[in-house]
Structure 1
Amino acid sequence: MYKPEVAFYLGEQKQQGFSGIVQKDNLFFILEVGTGMSEDQGHKTLDFVKEKIKKINNFDDFIASIITENNLPSDFSIASGFIKDNILYLKTVGTGKVFIRRKNKLGLLIEGNTTASGPVENNDFFIFTTDNFFEIVGGRQGLENTFDHRSPTEIIDEITPSLKAKNDQGAVALFVNLHQIVEDDQVSFRPSPDEIGMTKGRIKSIWFSMKSSKKTLTFITVFILFLVFLWSVILGVQRRTSKSANEKIKLAKELVSQKLSTAEEVAFLNMDRALILIRESKEEVEKLKKDVPLRSSSFEGQLEKLTIMITQVENKILKKEQKKYSEFFDLTVDDKDAKGDKMYLDGENSFILDKKRGIIYRLSLEKKSLTKNQFSEIKSGSLVAGYGDEGFFYAKGSGVFRINSEGKLGKIVDNSNSWGEIIDIATYNGNVYLLDRGTDEVWKYLSGEEKYGSASSYFASGQAIDFSQVNSLAIDGSLYLAGDSIIVKYTSGLRDGFRVDLPDDQPNFNKVFTSRDLEKIYLWDKIKGTVYVLGKTGEYIEQINSDILSKGTDVVVYKEGIYVLVGSKIYEIN
């Protein structure tokens, strides 16, 4: 059996092409596509390869199925190998090349559209690559110069600075050094059959000694000898186990370190690739846990260090920040039974709905001053908003009410048969906007003295979308809709060319928040306890994590602070 020590070089992705590698379950595979493949298509192809590994019967057919089932464009190259029963099966396509270094001699095994196979030996060193990498590394002489008893990781560390200074677009190479694992190095706490047999023999010997001897001293002596023998067997197995485990974690650490280093290098220009490398690093740690089922405290400590290292790089790349929070205000200063259900921010004023007690509080985030208005109609309210000093609330079956700056209550929008399910409310320039999931509409009502104008659709003709996943809106001049894993932007009723590329695969947005005073958009995911921060054109900036974000019932952002409503208290994340 052979243990591969692996490292790879991956240059910048070509604009219309893709390069990538797969190293899994004794498969070594590199793909380079010059034109005609997007990054998404490329990663799907690599995922396909990983799934197909389990079904390899004929290696040539395996590669052929990758080409045909993924409809690879004409401008592609493959270099691949697969070890089974100590035989290495090789296949190259296009400009693919496989080199071997054996006993300090470098040679080209195959290239072009070729198949080969042969037995491997201990310390064989293989390079899977294409003409592209071969040329920028300096050809055969360049490859020769990279060796000098270096490991794959050391080689990559050596060549990366010089290759990065060149045009390395599309360049890809996989370096594989095979190390033979003798049977004694296999990780197991079970003694060998011979040791088991010897142990059984000693047990029988003790048993017969007990039966035939009446001397207690003799029995004690034999029993002590047996314990010493048994202990020596256990110690021997543990020493071999420890040695093998240390070798495994050393190899894993080198591979993870290289993946994380590459992830940091490519993150700015290729976030998707960086995240894939981080995911693969996590998979290496999980694989290590499975390979070594019984572990010492020292080994567990090294595993923990690997996990921490991955987390630190991931947080750095994703700009994840774990933030502390502090109590900003407690509504019980007004009444010990106070409790906030919903919160809305306009300017510095936060409007907080206490449905049970029929109160809307207005809290100045600048002055920490609190005023309140209490009406029985508010007990039917489910949504709250504000504009200036005026508070608004929506009551199902009744309509929209306004509390003016003098504290007087009036209904400004009557309940409408045209409404479906009203799930959010917002104001802008004094106008009221209702998010209606039941009719896939945003209803706009122009401000008036006593009553607001009749309803009009915010959307231009044909611009509305399915609202089944939408649960929140925000307005800063443009209008944003968000919910589950979607966010869309409209300007003047027309859908904007707004594209968001978040690092997480399945966010679940509970609320979108922005305003004309803010330069950023904030997306709250309560389940993850995260607020994603975007630029106004959709670019990802950072994510903020805090325990309090998983407990809140509502969130707003004012200046540089995130304010979280939890029961009677408002907490601030700076």
Structure 2
Amino acid sequence: MAVNLDPVTLTGRPDETGWSQVHIFKPQDESKLSSKGELYVVLSVGDSEKGIENTILGRELLGKIYKDYFEGSDSPYISLKNAISGVLEDFTENIRDIEIVAMVQVENVAYLATVRGAGVVLIRDKNIIPILKTGAMDMELASGFLKDQDIIVLGTSKFFSRFDLAKVLSTLSPRGLAEAVELFARDTHSESGNGKLGLLALKCNQAKDLENQTANLNQKVGESSENVVMNSLGLETNKASADKTEQDFGHNKNWIDNLKNKITPLFKKVPERKFYVGANQESLKDKNKRKTFASAGFIILFLLVLSIFFGIRQKKLNDYKSRYQAELAGAVHQLDEAEEIYSLNPVRSRELFAESKAIVAKLLSENIKDPQLTQLADRLNESQGKILGEYKLDTELYVDLTLLSNGFKSDDIILSDGKLFILDKNARKVVSIALDTKRSEVVAGPSAINKVDDIGVYAGRIFISNSDGIFELKDRLVKVVDKDWTGDVMIYPYAGNMYLLEEDTSMIWRFAGSSEGFGSRKNWLASEVVIDLNNSRSFIIDGSIWILGKDASILKFSLGNKQDFKSEGVYPEIKNPKTLFTDDQSEHLYILDPENSRVVVIDKEGKYKAQYISAETKSTTSIVVSEKEKKLILLAQEKLYSIELKHLE
């Protein structure tokens, strides 16, 4: 029977000593909740090594713990251990002083981890028992069953140094949990220097007493390969000490000795081999001659059979090699030529590379074993990025948007003046994130935005469109353009003017900017231009206007006239693109192709440059790029991922 945990939290006010935070993660996916449970984390961050703000580092820490724990496929015990270890490896260089205490609850089992001074205390039957307390650089783990009315206290070292265990027991025992923590809060907030104080107290309710089921603990939580021992509380603690190792070794040695004592008599029972002397009257000399001749004959016969065997084997090997040697030599020649002409004719170079790669893939599928083939396959992998422009890279979690605003679901992303602006249409929220520092803030919420269909940002001014018109977001919404269109539209502010693509009429309208707002609309397209703009996916301006169609066509307009533009060299062809990005700071166009798990890069003349292949692009809905920072940002629901741009090097 699963237990219910009632949490009460306490954190000190951030100050020069540091910052603390308590987070509770409960996955929405029922299967993940069943297998991984709920994650509770208390952390404190002291001064950072590189001057990075504690709050930013704290969010990154929480985001990494959440990702490594819930996205791992291991058991809760191993996943928790790996998640905390990963944080220590990735963030120790940037943070001088970090403490973490984490707990996972799966049904009636608790898994615990502490790092660098943080601790865990259990209050059971009015007794207070320290469970975990780590040293300066250690991590300790524990796991065990929870009982009804247990109180688990997860705290930073600042909490336990400020409130000794006797006071914790005397305060928590006679009072309700919330009331007791409120008393701690009064003392905490009335004093300075408590920025790193963090507390999470959890009370267990309606839980079945499972103390008698400790015999089954290894089935539930014994998934770790490390030695664990059960203490009197039904909690497992990692105690793989030198003494324990010595004890286990001695036990194994006795077992081996016993086995040896049992086996040795069996060998003694094997009959002794006897030698007999016959009555043969032949001389020993004649017998030795016959033995010599027989041995020589046997050796000659053996060598003859061996030479026949090797001859047959060599013939088979020659036949085997002759079958593929011509293909292999051709593949080597094609790669050599591709590398030689890359700078002169990159299109032909990619064709030769692709042909060589296809031959190698065919030979490998036939289980051909040849050092030259292995060497050629390695050369292809090394040259693939340079010649084909294919970069298969792991993405990095850039920002977890749920840490900025609960339940945030992104619909669109804009890059303007070094800032990211992310729109959640359903929640009617806009958040901004500085690209270089990741400093974030909620720009506007439902109190300011009543409805929103599209967003545009230029020179720090934020605009939204809805069924009533176009509005500028200031302290409140200010209408700047009255609605005078039908159907779906896309807006794009640029150089002080507002541009609007109206799909139903295939028109592009320009609203000239003025000190009082925007003037009346004018048709931006030249009078002789007749174009179908239905089913447009993206509407971008960098001086020219770029429009991406659902059929992967890219239209370019300049001064109201359509320009000749065609992409070439992209393989495989793009069939169903999601969005297009460029700006006046970029030399390339970036096309999101989720169907092929990639982002394709072409220059503004249409020539293929590169493609970035990553699993996260399948769920990506929009992208932005900063060529200055060499960073590609993927927007995937509640998370932002980043990829380092290699084709600019």
Give the match for residue 343 of structure 2.
268
Give the match for residue 540 of structure 2.
474
User: 2:621 aligned with 1:553, yes or no?
Assistant: yes
Cα distance in 1 for partners of 2:325, 2:450 equals 64
Give the match for residue 12 of structure 1.
none
Give CA deviations for 1:300-334 in whole Å, capped at 9, x if unaligned: x9867655544544432133333443233232333
User: 2:417 aligned with 1:351, yes or no?
Assistant: no
Give the match for residue 407 of structure 2.
337
User: 2:511 aligned with 1:445, yes or no?
Assistant: yes
SS of residue in 1 equivalent to 2:596: coil
Structure 1 residue 366, shift from structure 2 partner: 3.6
Aligned positions of 1:80-95 closer than 5 A = none
Closer, same or farther: CA 322–266 of 1 in aligned 2, 3 Å:
same
SS of residue in 2 equivalent to 1:381: coil
Cα distance in 2 for partners of 1:308, 1:465 equals 49
Structure 1 residue 359, shift from structure 2 partner: 0.6
Give CA deviations for 1:414-473 in whole Å, capped at 9, x if unaligned: 333x43432x33210232222333332222223356663333222112234333564112
Cα distance in 2 for partners of 1:503, 1:268 equals 17
Give the match for residue 328 of structure 2.
253
Would the aligned equivalents of 1:440 and 1:467 in 2 still touch at CA under 8 Å? yes
Aligned residue identity for 1:460: A
Would the aligned equivalents of 2:328 and 2:373 in 1 still touch at CA under 8 Å? no
Aligned counterpart in structure 2 of residue 433 of structure 1, from 499, 520, 523? 499
User: 2:465 aligned with 1:394, yes or no?
Assistant: yes
Would the aligned equivalents of 1:522 and 1:534 in 2 still touch at CA under 8 Å? yes
Aligned residue identity for 1:462: E
User: 2:453 aligned with 1:382, yes or no?
Assistant: yes
Range with bigger deviation, 377-386 or 355-364: 377-386
Aligned positions of 1:221-236 closer than 5 A = none
Aligned residue identity for 2:612: I
Closer, same or farther: CA 245–449 of 1 in aligned 2, 3 Å:
farther
Aligned residue identity for 1:255: G
Closer, same or farther: CA 313–363 of 1 in aligned 2, 3 Å:
closer
Give the match for residue 490 of structure 1.
557
Larger radius of gyration: 2
Structure 1 residue 351, shift from structure 2 partner: 1.6
Aligned positions of 1:34-73 closer than 5 A = none
Cα distance in 2 for partners of 1:569, 1:329 equals 6
SS of residue in 2 equivalent to 1:460: coil
Would the aligned equivalents of 1:275 and 1:503 in 2 still touch at CA under 8 Å? no
Closer, same or farther: CA 304–444 of 1 in aligned 2, 3 Å:
farther
Q: CA RMSD in A?
A: 3.5
Closer, same or farther: CA 305–498 of 1 in aligned 2, 3 Å:
same
Aligned residue identity for 2:554: I
Cα distance in 2 for partners of 1:351, 1:253 equals 52
Cα distance in 2 for partners of 1:304, 1:350 equals 45
Structure 1 residue 261, shift from structure 2 partner: 1.5
Aligned counterpart in structure 1 of residue 481 of structure 2, from 374, 396, 413? 413
User: Mind listing any 5+ residue stretches in structure 2 that lack a counterpart?
Assistant: 1-308, 645-649
Would the aligned equivalents of 1:352 and 1:384 in 2 still touch at CA under 8 Å? no
Would the aligned equivalents of 1:478 and 1:492 in 2 still touch at CA under 8 Å? yes
TM-score by length of structure 2 reads 0.45
Closer, same or farther: CA 258–412 of 1 in aligned 2, 3 Å:
same
SS of residue in 2 equivalent to 1:471: strand
Cα distance in 2 for partners of 1:371, 1:317 equals 43
Closer, same or farther: CA 338–259 of 1 in aligned 2, 3 Å:
same
Cα distance in 2 for partners of 1:429, 1:479 equals 13
Cα distance in 2 for partners of 1:503, 1:237 equals 49
Cα distance in 1 for partners of 2:353, 2:584 equals 37
Would the aligned equivalents of 2:448 and 2:477 in 1 still touch at CA under 8 Å? no
Structure 1 residue 257, shift from structure 2 partner: 0.6
Give CA deviations for 1:215-246 in whole Å, capped at 9, x if unaligned: xxxxxxxxxxxxxxxxxxx9999987665433
SS of residue in 2 equivalent to 1:454: strand
SS of residue in 1 equivalent to 2:353: helix
Range with bigger deviation, 235-244 or 262-271: 235-244
Structure 1 residue 377, shift from structure 2 partner: 7.9
Would the aligned equivalents of 1:520 and 1:536 in 2 still touch at CA under 8 Å? yes
| Number of matched pairs | 332
SS of residue in 1 equivalent to 2:333: helix
Would the aligned equivalents of 1:341 and 1:355 in 2 still touch at CA under 8 Å? yes
Aligned residue identity for 1:456: K
Aligned residue identity for 1:250: Q
Aligned counterpart in structure 1 of residue 356 of structure 2, from 281, 297, 306? 281
SS of residue in 2 equivalent to 1:452: strand
What percent identity do the matched residue pairs reach? 28
TM-score by length of structure 1 reads 0.51
Cα distance in 1 for partners of 2:472, 2:460 equals 11
User: 2:597 aligned with 1:529, yes or no?
Assistant: yes
Structure 1 residue 286, shift from structure 2 partner: 5.9
Cα distance in 1 for partners of 2:426, 2:320 equals 61
Give the match for residue 506 of structure 1.
573
Structure 1 residue 384, shift from structure 2 partner: 1.8
Closer, same or farther: CA 463–502 of 1 in aligned 2, 3 Å:
farther
Give CA deviations for 1:468-520 in whole Å, capped at 9, x if unaligned: 56411211111112234322322211223445433325125432222223343
Cα distance in 1 for partners of 2:323, 2:362 equals 10
